[in-house]
Amino acid sequence: MRFALSEDQTMLQDSLNRALGDLSPLERVRRFADEGEAAAADIWAGLAELGLPGLTIAEEHGGLGLGMLEAALAAGALGRVVAPTPFLGSAVLAPLALKLGGSSAQQARWLPQLAAGKATAGVAISEPVAGARDGAGVTASAGRLNGKALFALDAAGADLLVVADRAGGLHLAHSAEAAEAMPGIDATRRLTELSFADTPAEALASNQALERLRDAAWIMLAADTLGAAEAMLAKAVAYAKERKQFGRTIGSFQAVKHLCAEMAAELEPARALVWYAAYAFDHAPDEAPLMAAHAKAHMSEIGRFIARTATEVHGGIGMTDLLGLHYWFKRIGQNRQLLGGPEKVREIAARLQGLAA
């Protein structure tokens, strides 16, 4: 599959890569992970100066009015440096939920704040998308939420919560009764358990909003994994060019060449798949659900292969905290399972095609 970016999209990607190199170096990521910060406010503020929080928000609300492909390029750039930001919830999913089902008053209240980076949003849609665990799930009645939502994204310290109930309806809440950090393998992305007890909430109107949010989230997670995998491949190649063994750089050994070549061969078509899935979200809506599922499931598998192989190229040092390769490894691993692992996503894709009940 071939899919080419426009000149403007390439410029966006390049400018974000340069900016994030300064805003989110490994030392800053390590500090975020080690100190248990709820949010890296300095990184988000720097990205707000570039307009990133408003990437997908309409110009009338202070945003840039760009599409899902541009958002995927941004997600890839963030994954490339494992940046700890609320991009997924605040810049993509919450604005999309408001666009699809929010009233004009709700949009006028929240979209300008999100676009300016002055407010952040968390999203809790895991149960109706990927299946609920025992004791989890949210019910809605008479403008009140009750129950528990697990694996909420970007919800720590958020000003706005987008919450899905058991029936697939979406709601806006200002806070939860309780919000507790959940353990996860990726210390650069916080997961939250939200509890609701007669919590006031405003219902969103669209019946199709949850499916669209699911597709957008799958695309963003695939793009984030793509960026992380690109970084791990680049690090493996650079290491192979400088590490010497038996008086030769290890990159001169055929076995190491084959490992790097196989990673590159797997990644190249996956890149086009992710980009096309993002393009289809805006321009080919009939294809979008299936393409989003393919991108999420396939990138989960390719990401795991590259994470494992790049670590293998590094040898023993690849597992050390000093090198920091594990931040990318764990980001890829957690992305794989968020909102459905590849097996679950393929099951949904099969149902979309009428291949499964």
Mean pLDDT of 162-174: 96
- Supply the DSSP string of 128-178, one letter for each residue: HHH-PPTT-EEEEETTEEEEEEEEEES-TT-SEEEEE-TTS-EEEES--SE
From first CA to last CA, the distance across the chain in angstroms is: 29
Is-contact 282 69, C-beta < 8 A? yes
Q: Specify the pLDDT at position 118.
A: 96
Could you tell me whether strands 244-245 and 178-182 are parallel, antiparallel, or unpaired per DSSP bridges? Answer: unpaired
Q: Which of 86-90, 131-135, 279-283, 329-333 is the least confident region? A: 131-135
Name residues whose C-beta falls within 8 Å of residue 101's C-beta, 6 or more positions apart in sequence: 170, 204, 205, 206, 209
Mean pLDDT of 280-305: 97
Tell me: pLDDT of 228 over 80: yes
Mean pLDDT of 136-159: 96
Q: Specify the pLDDT at position 349.
A: 95
Which residue, among 226, 236, 278, has the nearest Cα to 66 in the 3D structure? 278
Q: Specify the pLDDT at position 2.
A: 58
Is-contact 9 73, C-beta < 8 A? yes
Q: Mean pLDDT in the chain?
A: 95
- State phi, psi for 296 to the nearest 5 degrees: -65, -50
Tell me: pLDDT of 213 over 60: yes
Q: Specify the pLDDT at position 206.
A: 79
pLDDT tens sequence across 232-262? 999 999 999 999 889 899 998 999 999 999 9
Q: Specify the pLDDT at position 1.
A: 52
| DSSP-assigned letter for residue 37 | -
pLDDT band at 172 (very low <50, low <70, confident <90, very high): very high
Q: Specify the pLDDT at position 36.
A: 86
pLDDT band at 344 (very low <50, low <70, confident <90, very high): very high
Q: Specify the pLDDT at position 244.
A: 87
0.75 surpassed by pTM: yes
Could you tell me whether strands 121-124 and 160-164 are parallel, antiparallel, or unpaired per DSSP bridges? Answer: parallel
pLDDT tens sequence across 5-42? 889 999 999 999 999 999 999 999 999 999 988 889 99
Tell me: pLDDT of 227 over 90: yes
Tell me: pLDDT of 212 over 70: yes
pLDDT band at 299 (very low <50, low <70, confident <90, very high): very high
Q: Specify the pLDDT at position 301.
A: 97
Q: Specify the pLDDT at position 178.
A: 95
- Supply the DSSP string of 248-304, one letter for each residue: EEGGGSHHHHHHHHHHHHHHHHHHHHHHHHHHHHHH-TTTHHHHHHHHHHHHHHHHH
pLDDT band at 106 (very low <50, low <70, confident <90, very high): very high
Tell me: pLDDT of 140 over 70: yes
